[in-house]
Chain A
Amino acid sequence: MIQTRDSIQDIWGPRLGYEGQWSVRVDERLEVEPDHWVQSACVLCSNGCGVDIGVKEGRIVGVRGRAVDSVNHGRLGPKGLNGWVANNSPDRLTKPLIRRNGQLEEATWDEAMNLIVQKSKELIEKHTSSSIGFYTSGQLFLEEYYALGIVGKAGLGTPHMDGNTRLCTATAAAALKESFGSDGQPGSYSDLDTTEAILHVGHNIASQQTVLWMRVLDRLAGPNPPKLVVIDPRATYTAEKATVHLAPRVGTNVPVMNGLLHLIIEAGHINQEYIDAHTIGFEELKQVVAKWTPERVEQLTGVPAAKLREAAHILGTCNTLVSTALQGVYQSMQATAAAVQVNNLHLLRGLIGHDGSGIYQMNGQPTAQNTRECGADGDLPGFRNWSNEKHIQELADLWNVHPDQIPHWAPPTHAMQIWRYCEQGSIKMLWISATNPLVSMPDLDRARKILAKDDLFVVVQDAFPTETTALADVVLPAAIWGEKTGCFTNVGRTVHISHKAVDPPGKARSDFDIFVDYSRRMDFRDKDGKPLLTSTWQTTEDGFNAWRECTRGRPCDYTGLSYAKLTGGSGIQWPCNEQYPDGKKHLYENGVFSTDVDYCEDYGHDLETGTPRSQDDYKLLDPKGKAFLKGIDYEPPHEKPDAQYPLWLTTGRVVFHFHTRTKTGRSRELQEAAPDAYVQLSTEDAAHYGIVEGDMIEVKSRRGKVQEPARVGDIEPGLIFVPFHYGYWDQDDRPRAVNELTLTEWDPISKQPHFKYAAVRIRKVNA
C-alpha cells in the first residue's frame, strides 16, 4: 500500500498552523499506481471532501484528496482514505434475489421488478397507494432522490416517504426552518479560517468530520487561535481541545443554552440594532431565558456556574463565531428547541451572514442535504412548503400532474410513523433503499418484528447483504459510489459531482436506473398521457437538468450549475445562478431571511407540542424576512434512571466507522482499528460494580439487552456510553447493537428519535 500518511495511527495528520487561508496538503492512499484518476467526493460523512478515485484496469485501486477543492484542500481522513476498498469486497450483491418458500433465491431483474410492480398494482387497487411506503437514505445521489421523489409523490402519490435522515439530520432541517424560514446552512467552512470563537454543541467533530476538525486544529496551531467552547457530556477528543468544556447531564441541552443566552443578554452583549431590524420574538425569548440563572443551570445540568459564565463571556464578546451542532442535540430531549437556541445565539449577536460567522446545523450522512432538497424524505422538492397551495401548484406544473396527485393534506409521513403504519398493517409494502434500519432504528426488537411480518412486502435495495436484506422479500443489488455518476451536496451547501470510475459488479444497477425502471414498468404518466420521468430521463444528467428547473427561484437554486461546470475544479456552493455564478458563501448577508409567507418552506411549529402553524396564523405574524427568536423551558427526558435501571445510557459514533458499518466494516484497516462495540463507564462506576477494563458487561434496558466489553474512564459517573451501529452481519454470537436498548420516541417537531438517553442497568457476565 502506498500512502502519504497512516491515518489510522495519526487520525488528523501533522499540523499546519494558519490564519486566513488554509493550506493544501494532499492525502493519498493507493494499492498500486492507477492508470487514471476520476473526479469524485467522499461519501463517508457529511463533510463531502473532494476526492479523486484511482482506477487501474477497471478496478478502484485508491484515492487522493483534491487539492483544488474548497472543502478539504486535499486532505482526507481515515474513513476517506480506507473506506473505498469496500467497493471491491467479495460479498457484494450482484444479482436480484426473491424470497421463495422462505429462502432468498437468485432471480433476474425482470422477475424481481415484475414482482414489485405486480405487488404495487395489487395494493393500489385494493388499498390505494397509501399502502406503499418508501424508506430511503442519506447516501444516494441527488438525481436518484429526485427520481424517487417524483416516482413516489407524482407517480404513486403516496404520502409515506422518508429517509433514515430522520434518524440523523431531521432536526438540523427543522431548526433551520424554525429560525430562518427555510433549510440551508447560513455559513461557510471558510468561516473557520478566520473566526474568533467556535462553539460545538453535542458535536464530536474530531471523530465525525475528521477533515473539518483538521481545519480547526490547524487554526488552533496558528497565530490567532480561536477560543473553543465544547458542550458534550463526555470527554471526547473535541472536548480535550476546548478552552471551556461544559459537560451537562444528558437531556439538558436546553437549560445550558438558555443559561448562556441569559448571561449574554444580561451582560448587554447583544446586538440590539440587529435584533430590532431583523428578528421577531426577542421579548418572549428574553423572558423565558431570564429564569435560567447560572446557579439554576448548575443545579439541573451539573455544569458549574463559573464555567457557564466563562463560556458565556467567550460567546458574548467574540466578534465572529462559528457554531456547530450534531446528534448530541438532535437525538436528545427537546432536540429542535435546543438546536434553535444555537440559532438564537447568532441572531442575538448579529453574527450571521458575514465572513467568520456561520452556523452549522450539521448533517450526519453524506447526502442528507439532498434528500431534504429533492423531496425523497418528509420534505418537498426545492424546499417547498407542503401547506402552501402555490408551492404544490409549482410542483404540479413541473411534473405536469394534477396538484391533488401530490399528497399535501398533512405533513409528509415521517419515518417513525411509516414504521408504525407497517406495524399496524396499513402500509403493506415498504421499499428500503441504501440503508440498514435493523441496526440503525431505535428499539431493534420492535423494528425486526415489523420487517418480519407476513403481511408486509419488503423490498431492499443495497450493495451488500445486511441485517435488513436478510428479512427482505426482494433484494435489488445496487451500484454505489465510484460505479455511477451523480451529484451530491455536503453539509456546507457545496455541490460535488462524482463521476463513474468503474462498472458495478455483476448485475448490480444504479439506484437511479432502478427507480426510472420502476416508473416505466408502472407506466406512470402525466396529465397529457406522456410517461413521467422515462421519456426524458435517459441519463443522470437528464435528472440533474430537471432538478435544476425544480430549484429555480428557490433558496437552493442550482440553475447556474451543470455537469460541465462541476467537472474539473472545486465543488461549488448553492445558490448558484445568474446572480451568483460561482456560488454563494453566506446566506442572509443582508439580514433578510427566507421567512416571507409566499417563500418560506415552513410556517413554524409550537416548540412544545410540535403543532404546525397554519398559513393564516403565519400571515398574522407576517415576518417579512425577519428571523424568528423562539424560547422554551426545560422538559425532563421521558425515561430517567430509577432504582431498577439506575444508569443513563448514551450512544454515538466512533471515528473509524460509519453508518451500520456496511462499508467501513469491510475495510480491513477501519475494521481492525475499531472491531467491536464497547461499554464506556466511569472509574467510579467500574469500582462500584467491580468491573475492570475488558470485562464482558451486560447492559439491559426495558426494551432489550446487549453484551459489550468494558472500557473504563473519560466519562461522568452515572452515565455509560455504547457506540451505535455495530450489528450482526460480521458477528452474531451475542446481542451487541446498542439500539436493542434505545427508545421508540421522538422530538415533536423534527420527529427525530431520541438515541441519546435511556435508563439501563449493568452487570458483569464473565465473572
Chain B
Amino acid sequence: MHLPYYLGLLENSEKQLTEAFEYVANHHHDEPDIEQMCQKLSAWSREHHGKVQGFVEKYSEEKSNEPSKLKRDLFAEPRSSSLALLRDLHDLWLLVQEVQLCWVVIQQAALGLRDEELKACYAFCSARTKRQAEWLLSRIKQAAPQTLLVAE
C-alpha cells in the first residue's frame, strides 16, 4: 500500500506551501495586497496540513522527503523587484499545483477505500487549493505586462 507515501508527500507539500506563502508575504511588505493575501493563504495551507496529519497517522508513519527538494529549486534567492514579485508568485503557483495534484491522487485512493472522512477532507481542502491557484494566476496576469514591458 503506497497511500502513506502519498499522504506524506501531500503533508510535506502543504507544509512547504504554508512556509512559501509566509515567505512571500514577508518579502513583499510594500505590496499590501500580496502581504495580506499570502498570509491568509498561508493560514489555509496550515489548516490543510493539520487535517492531512490526521490521515498520515491513521494510515502509517512512512513519509516522503520529496517536496523539500522542490522548495530548494524554487525561491532560489531573496528577491525584491517587480520581476522578483512575479517570479515569487510564479513559484507559489507551481507549489500549489504540486499540492493540488497530490490531492487528486489521494482522492482517487479515498474513493477506492470508501473513506468518507478522507473524501470530505479532500473536498474541503482541494476546493481551497483551487482558489489559491486562481488568486495567484489572476495576480500574475495583472503583474505580468507591467513587469515584462515597462519595469526596469
Nearest CB of A to B84, in Å: 11
Is there contact, CB below 8 Å, between B82 and A606? no
Interface centre among A127, A608, A635 (most CB of B within 10 A): A608
User: Which residue of the partner chain, among B36, B41, B138, B146, contacts A421 with CB atoms under 8 Å?
Assistant: B146
User: Which residue of the partner chain, among B82, B145, B152, contacts A410 with CB atoms under 8 Å?
Assistant: B145
Nearest CB of A to B53, in Å: 24
CA distance A409 to B150 in the complex (A): 15
CA distance A76 to B150 in the complex (A): 49
User: Which residue of the partner chain, among B36, B135, B147, contacts A606 with CB atoms under 8 Å?
Assistant: B135
**Can you name the residue of chain A whose Cβ is closest to the Cβ of B147?**
A426
> Across the A-B interface, how many residue pairs have beta carbons closer than 8 Å?
67
- Chain B's interface size range is 20 to 34
Is there contact, CB below 8 Å, between B40 and A411? no
Asked if A745 CB lies within 8 Å of chain B CBs, one says yes
Nearest CB of A to B120, in Å: 15
Is there contact, CB below 8 Å, between B134 and A130? no
Interface string of B135-150 (1 = CB under 8 A from A): 1001001100111011
Asked if A420 CB lies within 8 Å of chain B CBs, one says yes
Is there contact, CB below 8 Å, between B146 and A610? no
A581: chain B residues at CB < 8 Å are: none
Is there contact, CB below 8 Å, between A638 and B150? no
Asked if B76 CB lies within 8 Å of chain A CBs, one says no
A420: chain B residues at CB < 8 Å are: 30-31
CA distance A409 to B141 in the complex (A): 8
A416: chain B residues at CB < 8 Å are: 32
Known pairs A609-B37, A745-B32; A426 contacts B151 (CB<8 A): yes
**Can you name the residue of chain A whose Cβ is closest to the Cβ of B37?**
A609
CA distance A745 to B31 in the complex (A): 9
Q: List CB contacts (< 8 Å) of B30-78 with chain A.
A: 30-33, 36-37, 40-41
Is there contact, CB below 8 Å, between A426 and B82? yes
Asked if A114 CB lies within 8 Å of chain B CBs, one says no
Is there contact, CB below 8 Å, between A411 and B150? no
**Can you name the residue of chain B whose Cβ is closest to the Cβ of A617?**
B134
Is there contact, CB below 8 Å, between A611 and B150? no
Known pairs A424-B82, A606-B134; A748 contacts B145 (CB<8 A): no
**Can you name the residue of chain B whose Cβ is closest to the Cβ of A609?**
B135
B146: chain A residues at CB < 8 Å are: 130, 421, 426
Nearest CB of A to B150, in Å: 4
**Can you name the residue of chain B whose Cβ is closest to the Cβ of A455?**
B152
Nearest CB of A to B123, in Å: 14
User: Which residue of the partner chain, among B40, B82, B141, contacts A609 with CB atoms under 8 Å?
Assistant: B40
CA distance A410 to B86 in the complex (A): 15
Nearest CB of A to B35, in Å: 8
Is there contact, CB below 8 Å, between A426 and B150? yes
CA distance A611 to B81 in the complex (A): 23
B41: chain A residues at CB < 8 Å are: 609
**Can you name the residue of chain B whose Cβ is closest to the Cβ of A744?**
B32
Asked if A287 CB lies within 8 Å of chain B CBs, one says no
CA distance A424 to B150 in the complex (A): 11
CA distance A609 to B152 in the complex (A): 29
Q: List CB contacts (< 8 Å) of A729-760 with chain B.
A: 743-746, 748
Report which A residues bind B (CB closer than 8 A): 127-128, 130-131, 159, 409-411, 413, 416-417, 420-421, 423-427, 606, 608-612, 635, 638, 743-746, 748
Q: Closest 8 CB pairs between A and B?
A: A745-B32, A426-B151, A609-B135, A426-B150, A410-B142, A611-B135, A611-B134, A130-B150
**10 CB-based A-B contacts, threshold 8 Å:** A128-B150, A130-B149, A424-B151, A427-B150, A606-B131, A609-B131, A610-B135, A611-B131, A638-B36, A746-B33
Other A-B pairs, 19, CB within 8 Å; known A409-B141, A610-B135: A130-B145, A410-B141, A410-B142, A413-B142, A420-B31, A425-B152, A426-B146, A426-B150, A426-B151, A608-B131, A609-B37, A609-B41, A611-B131, A611-B135, A744-B32, A745-B32, A745-B36, A746-B33, A748-B33
